[in-house]
Amino acid sequence: MDTKPGPRFDQITFEKMRRIAPNLLAARRFAEDGDWRARPLPEEVSFKLTNRCDLRCTHCYQWNEAGYHHQLTPAEKHEDLDLSIVEKVLEATRALRSNVYLWGGEPLVYREWDGLVDLLAKDPRWTAICTNGTLIEKRLESLLKISGRLEVSISLDGFETEHDSIRGNGSFRRTLEGIRLLREQKKADAYLGEITVNFVISDGMVHRMFEFVQFLEQEGVETVYVSFPWYISDETSARMDRYCAEHFSWEYRHSKASWHSYKFRLDPNCIDELNVEVARIDAANWRLKLRYNPRLDPADMQPFVMGSDKPAQNKTRCHSIRTRMDVFPNADVISCKFFPEFRVGNLKETDLREVWQSARFNQVRETVSQCGLMPACAKCNLLYTRGT
């Protein structure tokens, strides 16, 4: 993820960067010295609260026609993370005050949402929620309760016709109402956090990217993430299969690995127009903060869009596996957020420190450090936000 010059940092952004930057810089220094070992404790904890979602988006690698959630058992498809596991992780990281990231599925359908908010209110952390935004009105009171250190990242993938063609009829209206409601609460000083929009580009929006950012600025959105689809080609998926067979002897639960589900893509014929629209956006002066997920220069655009295993920005090192812990609804700890095959422990069976420093987790860290990034890493946003 990258940024173009825009508004100066506000106080919330400054405070978050002040907490994150020293730890991330320390991890990078160790990695540059060839030290793949983890930080003493995770400095960021991510909870996939549920596998459930109230939408069925065509670009979703979990629930679209090719999504890997279809391989889950009926019980797993409806599984939510036990609140006691969240409490356990927060307790273990209280001294460090690790940042919290909440996602799903759709996190706002989480059955124990009110209990989760109570935990975060008692133990305030910098918290980010990745949501489709359709349930903001329902959860508004609880969001206000923890908004002092909160970023609500809302998915809005274009204007009404384009968004609804991906996420379902009526979803644009419901999500925009949620954004506007948060904005009203912020103007009234009731909501104290950030309002951000994640905009995943689709074919129908390529020629309207600039226009859509203008629209979001007019709506009072503070930060926009312009995201390129994480398409993994069949060739790259096959290379990932071979990499894992060579370096990891683990048995996978499902017949097809999750990286085979990342098949939503942009039309390669749109590449020239993509570069034109990005240049238009970059040339403008915005009141909002603008980020790319990831930043793609013209030389990077075609390989990324075509699903290559070559990382953009010449990235070669992942630091998130040394600084971040991802917890799934069944309490599995996953070393690589987007690929549940990388199970390194379970918090129902083992305490956090033991999983964090486990032989299996360290095997992933050492392998990626010594043998190079995995083919699927090229489409992981954590590489671009936490890598070098």
Provide the pLDDT confidence category of residue 337 given band limits of 50, 70 and 90.
very high
The closest of 335, 382, 387 to 357, measured between CA atoms, is 335
Mean pLDDT of the 331-350 span: 97
For residue range 300-317, list pLDDT tens digits in order: 999 999 999 999 999 999
Out of 14-23, 80-89, 128-137, 205-214, pick the least confident. 14-23
Per-residue pLDDT at 6 exceeds 80: no
Residue (of 152, 151, 170, 153) closest to 161 by Cα position: 170
Examine the pLDDT at 340 and tell me if it is beyond 60: yes
Instruction: Give the pLDDT band (50/70/90) at residue 234.
Output: very high
Distance CA 344, CA 61 (A): 22
d(CA 205, CA 213): 11
224-236: string of b/e by CB count within 10 Å (b at 16+)? bbbbbbbbbbeeb
pLDDT value at 190 more than 90: yes
Which is it for strands 332-334 and 343-346: parallel, antiparallel or unpaired? antiparallel
What pLDDT is attached to residue 135?
99
Block residue for tokens 């940024």? 3
All structural domains of the chain, each given as residue ranges with its CATH number in brackets, are 44-57+69-125+250-265+309-387 (3.20.20.70), 130-229+268-306 (3.80.30)
Rounded average pLDDT over 87-115: 98
pLDDT at residue 252, rounded to an integer:
77
Q: With bands split at pLDDT 50, 70 and 90, how would you rate the model's confidence at 36? A: confident
> Which residues make Cβ contacts (< 8 Å) with residue 188, sequence separation at least 6?
none
Model confidence at 332, in pLDDT bands (50, 70, 90)? very high
Higher pLDDT, 370 or 26: 370
What are the tens digits of pLDDT across the range 270-295? 999 999 999 999 999 999 999 999 99
Question: What is the Cα–Cα distance from 213 to 168, expressed in whole angstroms?
Answer: 22
Confidence check: pLDDT of 5 > 50: no
pLDDT-based confidence at residue 253 (cuts at 50, 70, 90): confident
With beta carbons less than 8 A apart as the criterion, state whether 68 and 232 touch.
no
Q: What percent of the chain has pLDDT over 90?
A: 89
Residue-averaged pLDDT of the chain: 94
Instruction: Write the secondary structure of 340-354 as one string of H (helix), E (strand) and C (coil).
Output: CCCEEEECCCCCHHH
Give the tokens for residue 112: 């124990």
Q: In Å, what is the CA distance from 309 to each residue of 135, 184, 209, 265, 387?
A: 36, 43, 26, 15, 16
**Cβ neighbours of residue 349 under 8 Å, at least 6 residues apart?**
none
Task: Give the whole-angstrom CA distance, residue 127 versus residue 154.
Answer: 14
Output the pLDDT for position 16.
59
The whole-number pLDDT of residue 251 equals 76
